[in-house]
Amino acid sequence: MVRVRFAPSPTGYLHIGAARTSLFNWLFARHHKGKFILRIEDTDLARSSEEMSRGILEGLNWLGLEWDEGPLYQSERIDVYRKRAEELVGKGCAYNCFCLPEEIRERKEMASSRGEYWEYDRRCLKLSEREKSKFEEEGRPKAIRFLVPEGEIRYSDLIHGPISVASKNIEDFVLLRGDGLPTYHLSVVVDDIEQGITHVIRGDDHISNTPKQILLYKAFGSPLPQFAHLALILGPDKKKLSKRHGVTSILQFREEGYFPLAMLNFLAQMSWSPGEEKRLYSLGEMIKEFSLEKLSKGSPVFDLDKLDWLNGQLISQMSVDELAPYVFEELKRENIIQSEPSGKKKDWYLKLVELLKERSRKIKDFPLRAKPFLSGDIDYDPAGIEKYLRDERLEELLPKLREDFARMESFTVENIEKVLRLRAEKEGVKAALLIHALRMLVVGTPVSPGIFDVLELIGKEKTIERMDKFPEI
Residues 370-429 that bind RNA (CB under 7 A): none
77: contact with RNA by CB under 7 A: no
Q: C-beta of 271: minimal distance to RNA in Å? A: 4
CB of 439 to RNA, least distance (A): 6
Closest CB to RNA among residues 33, 238: 238
Nearer to RNA, 106 or 346 (CB): 106
User: How do beta strands 174-176 and 143-146 pair?
Assistant: antiparallel
The reply to whether omega before 10 is within 30° of 0 (cis) is: no
Q: How far is the CB of 204 from RNA (least distance, A)?
A: 6
Q: Does 435 bind RNA (CB under 7 A)?
A: yes
Q: What angle do CA 260, 266, 272 make, to 5 degrees?
A: 125
41 binds RNA (CB under 7 A): yes
User: Does the protein bind RNA through residue 65 (CB under 7 A)?
Assistant: no
Residue 436 binding RNA, by CB under 7 A: yes
243 tagged catalytic: yes
What 3-state DSSP class applies to 95?
Answer: strand
Residues 326-355 that bind RNA (CB under 7 A): none
The tally of CA atoms less than 13 A away on the side-chain side of residue 158 is 18
Task: Tell me if 134 contacts RNA by CB under 7 A.
Answer: no
Is 458 near RNA (CB under 7 A)? no
**Other Cβ atoms within 10 Å of 405 Cβ, number:** 21
CB 86 within 8 A of CB 188: no
Q: Which of 109, 194, 358, 403 binds RNA (CB under 7 A)?
A: 358
451 binds RNA (CB under 7 A): yes
CA distance 230 to 292: 9
Cβ of residue 75: shortest distance to RNA, in angstroms? 10
Task: Tell me if 101 contacts RNA by CB under 7 A.
Answer: yes
Member of 110, 368, 422, 447 binding RNA (CB under 7 A): 447
User: What is the 8-class DSSP label of residue 232?
Assistant: P
User: Is 54 exposed, middle or buried (CB count within 10 Å of its CB: 0-12, 13-18, 19+)?
Assistant: exposed
- HEC string for 125-148: CCCCHHHHHHHHHHCCCCEEEECC
Q: Is 286 in the site for RNA (CB under 7 A)?
A: no
CA terminus-to-terminus distance, the chain: 72
Looking at 28-36, 42-50, 61-69, 395-403, which segment touches RNA (CB under 7 A)?
A: 42-50
Q: Which is nearer to RNA, 205 or 461 (CB)?
A: 205
Residue 112 CB, shortest distance to RNA, in Å, is 9
| Of residues 93 and 443, the one with the C-beta less far from RNA | 443
**Of 293, 321, 377, 392, the one binding RNA by CB under 7 A:** 293
Name the 3-class secondary structure at 152. strand
CB neighbours (10 Å) of residue 415? 15
Instruction: Check if the beta carbon of residue 183 is closer than 8 Å to that of residue 173.
Output: yes
Cα–Cα dist 467/439, whole Å: 10
Distance CA 202, CA 66 (A): 18
**150 in contact with RNA (CB under 7 A):** no
Which residues partner with 201 through β-bridges? 228
Query: Taking the complex as a whole, how short is the minimal distance between the CB of residue 66 and RNA, in angstroms?
Result: 22
Question: Is 88 a binder of RNA (CB under 7 A)?
Answer: no
For residue 238, the Cα-to-chain-centroid distance in whole angstroms is 18
Q: CB burial class (10 A; 0-12, 13-18, 19+) of residue 90?
A: exposed
Which one-letter DSSP state was computed for residue 76?
A: G
Q: Does 131 bind RNA (CB under 7 A)?
A: no
Which span sits near RNA by CB under 7 A: 29-37, 168-176, 216-224, 344-352? 168-176
Tell me whether residue 8 or residue 225 sits nearer to RNA (CB atom): 8
Say which of 134, 243, 345, 430 is annotated catalytic. 243
Query: Is 300 a residue that touches RNA (CB under 7 A)?
Result: yes
Determine which residue in the list 123, 134, 244, 297 makes contact with RNA, applying CB under 7 A. Answer: 297
Contact assessment for residue 203 and residue 17, using Cβ atoms and an 8 Å cutoff: yes
Residue 396 makes CB contacts below 8 A (sequence gap 6+) with none
Q: Is the dihedral of CA 233, 236, 242, 246 positive or negative?
A: negative
122 forms part of the interface with RNA (CB under 7 A): no
C-alpha atoms less than 13 angstroms from C-alpha of 470 in its C-beta half-sphere: 23
User: Which residue in the set 79, 137, 305, 472 belongs to the binding site for RNA (CB under 7 A)?
Assistant: 305
- CA 340 – CA 331 distance, rounded (Å): 9
Query: Interface residues for RNA in 228-247 (CB under 7 A)?
Result: 231-232, 234, 238-240
Q: Which is nearer to RNA, 340 or 391 (CB)?
A: 391
Distance, in Å, from the CA atom of 24 to the CA atom of 41, rounded to the nearest integer, reads: 19
Q: Find the part of the chain contacting RNA (CB under 7 A) among 64-72, 220-228, 266-274, 371-379.
A: 266-274
If one asks whether residue 136 binds RNA (CB under 7 A), the answer comes out as no
100 counts as binding RNA under rule CB under 7 A: yes
In the list 32, 82, 132, 206, the residue contacting RNA (rule: CB under 7 A) is 206
Out of 49, 209, 252, 412, the residue judged to bind RNA by CB under 7 A: 209
Q: Which residues are designated catalytic?
A: 243
